[in-house]
Amino acid sequence: MHSIFDLRKNKGWTQEELGKKFRKKKAAEIICRWEKGKTAPSSQNLQELSEIFGVPAQKILIKRLTD
């Protein structure tokens, strides 16, 4: 399993750089929230992350959401 943070860092990308690949408005903010476990990516976003990172979606670890 790989966290979004670890996958991004292993590529040497900033949140902004990943956001540009993700092509969503305010993507860097969204990625920050995912990495901190404040929100989780939708199944569609998870699939996009899988394609960007070149790993199966099932291998992307999503931090457990806290109250």
The domain that holds 17 is classified in CATH as 1.10.260.40
Domain membership of residue 42 (yes or no) is yes
**Mean predicted confidence (pLDDT) in 18-31:** 88
Residue 45: predicted pLDDT: 92
Higher pLDDT among residues 25 and 58, named by residue:
58
51, pLDDT greater than 90: yes
18, pLDDT greater than 50: yes
Domain count, the chain: 1
pLDDT in tens, 32-46: 999 988 999 999 999
H/E element, 57 = none
In Å, the largest CA–CA distance within the chain is 31
Domain membership of residue 11 (yes or no) is yes
SS3 per-residue string spanning 11-40: HCCCHHHHHHHHCCCCHHHHHHHHHHCCCC
Domain membership of residue 19 (yes or no) is yes
**Mean predicted confidence (pLDDT) in 17-34:** 89
